[in-house]
């Protein structure tokens, strides 16, 4: 059975440069762009107006952004290789994390907000304690040295997954700080990794154009999702774990049913590559869960499921 989504609202020229990433919280969609600003858009209203602009010090532009609702923190990673952490309450900069020996790339908070983890271009993964004053480094995970392009923290806090430029895909146990699985299936760059809400499944995608789904405990590849014609840039599960949202260089967004293991909806509104897409987190409200997408066209697009269909 296919599902119907429609574009409810769009903001063209949301940033003057490419929008490389989007993150959602129950209140906002947060976009990060090549022009060094973070923008917070109202996720709950109908016209999704701009609520706040944060001017960061990432002069070379920002690619990744992640947020944690519990802590009210946003972390932005710039092309300069530094991570800046911002407080949602007063938009002040809480910390700047940098390492002259490497450049950080993708970052994720743990669900409880206790930790922040980031990949770097030299392949390592660093974990920081967010409770400490200056974001003290509390762990380092070793990989085989290929640039880490994607990271996710499982909701139960037990796993970290990372995707790498050489096709490497790893699952680490946070309890032992050890590698749990080195997952096969990709020989080209892995640009997106995402744990299902119950931390049972892991989805990964990238330059092979195929989404692979694994059982986190056993490391078994459970199924593949094929349909995108170009690189997969972004993956996100809806809050029930029934649907997976993918954004691709082929300009489209796809919604995949996990039960049917097939694509149930394709959105082709953008005429250029999609850099990122995320489900909204305004759950608990009456409206069904929608999603937001961003990309080269500098536009923020909001989608909602067609009801009564």
Partner 1 sequence: MSFTQGDDVIEECLDYRSEESREEILGKIETLISDLMAGVAETGLAAIRLSNRRAAESIRFDKEKLHLTARDAADTKQNIIAFPGPTILNSWRFAVLMRTLDIISESLTSGKVVTKRDIYYRETWLFRNQAIVDRIVDDIGRTLNVPRAALGIVAAQKGLACGTFCMHKKDGTLMAVEGEIQLIPPFEEIKSVDVMDIDFVLVIEKEAIFRSLCSSKFYNRADIGRSILVTGKGYPDLSTRQFISNIAACHPDTPLFGAVDSDPYGIDILCTYKFGSRAMAHENSHLTALKMEWVGVNVLEYEDGWTKLSVGDRKKALKMLSLPWMETEAAMAMRLELQRMLFLGKKAEMNVVGTEANSVITYLTQAIKIRLDALITH
Looking only at the bridges linking them, the beta strands covering 73-78 and 62-68 are: antiparallel
Whole-angstrom Cα distance, residue 6 to residue 244? 17
Interface with partner 1 (CB under 8 A), residue from 147, 154, 174, 267: 147
Does the protein bind partner 1 through residue 17 (CB under 8 A)?
A: yes
Closest C-alpha to 153, from 173, 181, 176, 130: 173
Residues from 37 through 66 that contact partner 1 (CB under 8 A):
59-61, 63
Residues pairing with 232 in the sheet: 248
User: How near is the Cβ of 224 to partner 1 at its closest, in Å?
Assistant: 22
Nearer to partner 1, 80 or 269 (CB): 80
Nearer to partner 1, 34 or 290 (CB): 34
Whole-angstrom Cα distance, residue 109 to residue 116? 4
CA angle 151, 154, 155 (to 5 degrees): 135
Interface with partner 1 (CB under 8 A), residue from 85, 125, 273, 277: 273
The 61-100 contact track toward partner 1, x by CB under 8 A, reads x-x---------------xx--------------------
Q: How many Cβ atoms sit within 10 Å of the Cβ of residue 259? A: 8
Q: How many residues bind partner 1 (CB under 8 A)?
A: 21
Nearer to partner 1, 21 or 292 (CB): 21
User: How near is the Cβ of 273 to partner 1 at its closest, in Å?
Assistant: 7
Nearer to partner 1, 11 or 36 (CB): 36
Taking CB atoms within 8 Å and a gap of at least 24, the contacts of 228-233 are 228/252, 228/254, 230/273, 231/189, 231/191, 231/206, 231/207, 232/191, 232/192, 232/205, 232/206, 233/191, 233/192, 233/273, 233/274, 233/275, 233/276
Interface with partner 1 (CB under 8 A), residue from 23, 152, 165, 297: 165
Selected range binding partner 1 among 7-15, 216-224, 268-276, 280-288, rule: CB under 8 A = 268-276
Nearer to partner 1, 149 or 263 (CB): 149
E runs forming strands in 189-273: 190-195, 201-206, 210-215, 221-226, 232-237, 243-248, 253-257, 262-267
- For 24-54, the DSSP string reads E-SSEEEEEETTSEEEEEESSSSS--EEEEE
Interface with partner 1 (CB under 8 A), residue from 19, 30, 149, 216: 149
User: How near is the Cβ of 61 to partner 1 at its closest, in Å?
Assistant: 5
User: How near is the Cβ of 60 to partner 1 at its closest, in Å?
Assistant: 4
Interface with partner 1 (CB under 8 A), residue from 189, 202, 244, 294: 189
Whole-angstrom Cα distance, residue 193 to residue 204? 4
Tokens (6 digits) for 29:
């969609």
Interface with partner 1 (CB under 8 A), residue from 91, 121, 210, 264: 121
Q: Which residues bind partner 1 (CB under 8 A)?
A: 16-18, 20, 34, 59-61, 63, 79-80, 103, 121, 147, 149, 165, 189, 272-273, 275, 296
């Amino acid at each position: 059975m296919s599902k119907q989504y429609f574009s409810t609202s769009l903001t063209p020229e949301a940033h003057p440069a490419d929008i490389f990433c989007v993150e959602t919280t129950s209140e906002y969609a947060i976009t990060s762009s090549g022009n060094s600003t973070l923008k917070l858009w109202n996720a709950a209203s109908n016209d999704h107006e701009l609520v706040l602009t944060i001017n960061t010090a990432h002069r070379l532009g920002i690619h990744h952004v992640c947020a944690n609702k519990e802590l009210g923190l946003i972390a932005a990673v710039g092309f300069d290789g530094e991570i800046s952490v911002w407080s949602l309450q007063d938009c002040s900069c809480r910390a700047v994390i940098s390492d002259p020996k490497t450049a950080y790339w993708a970052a994720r908070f743990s669900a409880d907000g206790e930790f922040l983890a980031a990949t770097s271009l030299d392949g390592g993964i660093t974990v920081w304690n967010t409770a400490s004053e200056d974001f003290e480094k509390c762990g380092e995970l070793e990989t085989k040295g290929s640039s880490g392009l994607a990271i996710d923290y499982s909701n139960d806090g037990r796993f970290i997954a990372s995707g790498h430029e050489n096709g490497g895909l790893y699952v680490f146990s946070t309890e032992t700080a050890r590698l749990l699985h080195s997952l096969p299936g990709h020989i080209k760059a892995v640009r997106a990794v995402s744990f299902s809400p119950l931390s049972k499944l892991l989805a990964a995608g990238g330059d092979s154009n195929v989404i692979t789904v694994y059982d986190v405990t056993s490391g078994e590849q459970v199924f593949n999702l094929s349909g995108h014609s170009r690189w997969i840039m972004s993956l996100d599960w809806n809050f029930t774990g029934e649907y997976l949202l993918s954004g691709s260089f082929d300009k489209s967004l796809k919604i995949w049913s996990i039960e049917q293991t097939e694509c149930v909806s394709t959105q082709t509104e953008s005429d250029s590559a999609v850099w990122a897409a995320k489900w909204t987190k305004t759950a608990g409200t009456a409206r069904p869960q929608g999603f937001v997408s961003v990309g080269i066209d500098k536009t923020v697009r909001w989608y909602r499921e067609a009801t009564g269909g």
